[in-house]
A and B are shown apart, each in its own frame.
Chain A
Amino acid sequence: MLRFIIRRLGALAATLLISSFLIFAAMYAAPGSPESFLVQGRTVSPEVLASIRAQYGLDDPFLVRYGHWLGGVLTGDLGESLTTRQDVASLLASRIPTTLWLTAYAAVLIVVFGVVVGAIAGLRGGAFDTAVLLGSSVGFAIPTFFAAVLLMSVFSVTLGWFPVFGSGSGLADRMSHLTLPAVALALPAVAVVARITRTAVVEEREAEHVQIALARGVPWRIVARRHIVRNAMLPVTTIVGVNIAALVAGAAVVEHAFTLDGIGAMLINAVQQKDFAVVQAIALVLVAVFGVVNLVIDILYAVIDPRVQLGGESA
């Protein structure tokens, strides 16, 4: 197990290294020079321009600049924003809590509603099952940004239950500000997870070992919990994990829709303003988080299902 984790961590580190190179190279190749952005249309003498280029190390060869940036990243220095001149690391630090709260809230919703509703639908069947099947088909087709606008229209504008903008401060206030965004972010994933859970539970319910357990007189409650749901959790873990990992990027859309001050919204702004220092820092953070979440899923999967070959696969 430990060897498996160490190997996967090594692979993750290698992926991050190559990703950082790709991200930096892409920003480097982007048309438009950073110094023309820094002077913002003002006419400046060639000497000033040269000093700016020297200050930001713009005349250094590509690999030197990449090495410089990577060295900074490893020591926690992400550079300086081109638009605000602020330290990118501290900018990020001030924005990360909102994104973290939002995605954690959405992840809880996915697990609670997706898995629980799907499992009940699979175990009970009947009208509830049909309702869940229909609901998941529709929910799956609703894009997060439209869900955001819908929720805003109904619960903020019409009913006035939740605030429209901002992320709030303090636990209760934050929860109230983040409820609609988290629901919007979680909705499509809840639909998918509920559907997969339901299918897995139904398949398991019809399995021979379940029929035999019931025939032997094991109470339904115990069969349902120990034999059906437990076995059905294998495919569910994967799909829950994939959907939680996808929240990393999906949060940007919801943050933009609700004008939350998370790193996703910050990324979109930075892209529009061509603030490459911020873009490459956030991109690297997102790839890292994405990789770590995926790694955690794989480890969890191996813990839940001891049959998983730890040595064999690399993907």
Chain B
Amino acid sequence: MSAETLARPAARRRGGDLAVWLGPLGIAAAVIIALITLAALFAPLIATHDPDIGSVVQRYQGPSAEHLLGTDQSGRDLFSRLLYGARTSLFGAAVVVLLAGGGGAVLALVAAWFGRNVDAFLGRVLDLLFAFPNLLLAILAVAVFGTGLAQVTIALAISYVPYTARVLRSVALRERRLAYVQAAELQGLSGLVVSLRHILPNIVPQILTGAAINFGYAMIDLAALSFLGLGVQPPTADWGLMVSQGKDSLLQGYPQQSMLAGTCIVVAVAAFSVIGERLGGRKAGGRA
């Protein structure tokens, strides 16, 4: 751990040493993420079939030239559905990470700049959010606003804010106390300018690390909500939903759909957590 942390800043400064810094595992992870992103972006071009249309006569087919990975319970092409499934999975997680990172950064900057009562009040509000387990907050949001990807994505983002805000606040607070920030304040620069121009750029590394680590969590949580029938709705292709829909087929002896979709999730999450570890220079399991 310590060797990694020490080696990191130097390797990072020299952009050419990116490969060294990533290591073999990191390179593999980066390639996987690039491939999944490309698959999601160009799904309509790569897909061999319409993901939502199938014929029941062709259900539960094995892999063939026509259907590369076989078909599901409705005769839909699994390869095409996996490609389209990457879209909802990546997009949802990206929105969660963006909103949670942005919201957390704003709260952290406000708390660090004003300090005292504002800081204490925001701390209390965050404590209250901490009282709700992430998944519960998203489930409650569905109870109120109905099922759907948008609802669970926003609810999850809110439930992630306390984690990002707490980490970023401590970094921003450290920055706030530095002499150059005090000097800028004395020169009469407004809090907004100092926060955005001087403090924000210095907490960007922590924001990125948090985003990479949270991305894996967000993918798992969103997939779980779709698995529960609360997130992405059929017939839209989504990895979590595919694991759920494949469960009945699996009990009848056709495990392909669940296994393929589940494997996609595992590989994607593992890739993002490896990158998150590299960025943060620490082991999995820590939450930013």
Query: Which A residues are closer than 8 A to B by beta carbons?
Result: 15-16, 18-19, 22-23, 26-27, 29-31, 136-138, 140-146, 149-150, 152-153, 157, 164, 191-192, 195-196, 199, 239, 245-246, 248-250, 252-253, 256-257, 267-268, 270-272, 274, 276, 279, 283, 286-287, 290-291, 315
Contacts and interface: CB of A to CB of B under 8 A. Distances in A.
Interface stretch (B58-66, B69-77, B185-193, B257-265): B257-265
Q: Which 5 A-B pairs have the closest CB atoms?
A: A249-B133, A146-B262, A141-B270, A192-B285, A249-B135
27 contacts: A15-B131, A23-B140, A31-B146, A137-B274, A141-B267, A141-B270, A142-B262, A145-B227, A145-B240, A145-B244, A146-B258, A149-B262, A157-B253, A164-B251, A192-B285, A196-B283, A199-B283, A248-B133, A249-B139, A250-B135, A253-B135, A253-B227, A257-B247, A271-B140, A271-B230, A283-B136, A290-B132
B133 A136 contact: no
A164 B253 CA distance: 13
B216 A145 contact: no
A26 B285 contact: no
A146 B132 contact: no
Contact of B230 (A26, A144, A268): A268
Report which residue of B127, B128, B136, B259 has the largest number of chain A beta carbons within 10 angstroms of its beta carbon: B136
Contacts of B244: 145
Contacts of B243: 145-146, 149
Contacts of A136: 284
Nearest to A146: B262
Contacts of B123: 315
A137 B135 CA distance: 22
B206 interface: no
A250 B221 CA distance: 10
B139 A145 contact: no
Q: What interface size band does chain B fall in?
A: 35 or more
A18 B128 contact: yes
Given A157-B253, A257-B247, A143 B127 contact: no
A256 B255 CA distance: 19
Contacts of A141: 216, 265-267, 269-270, 273
Interface in B118-134: 123, 127-128, 131-134
Given A137-B270, A140-B285, A271-B143, A153 B228 contact: no
Given A146-B243, A253-B224, A268-B228, A153 B258 contact: yes
B51 interface: no
Contacts of A30: 143-145
Contacts of B266: 138, 141-143, 146
A246 B143 contact: no
B246 interface: yes
A291 B273 contact: no
Contacts of B251: 152, 157, 164
B99 to A, nearest CB: 19
B223 A252 contact: no
Interface in B198-229: 216, 220, 223-224, 227-229
Contacts of B110: none
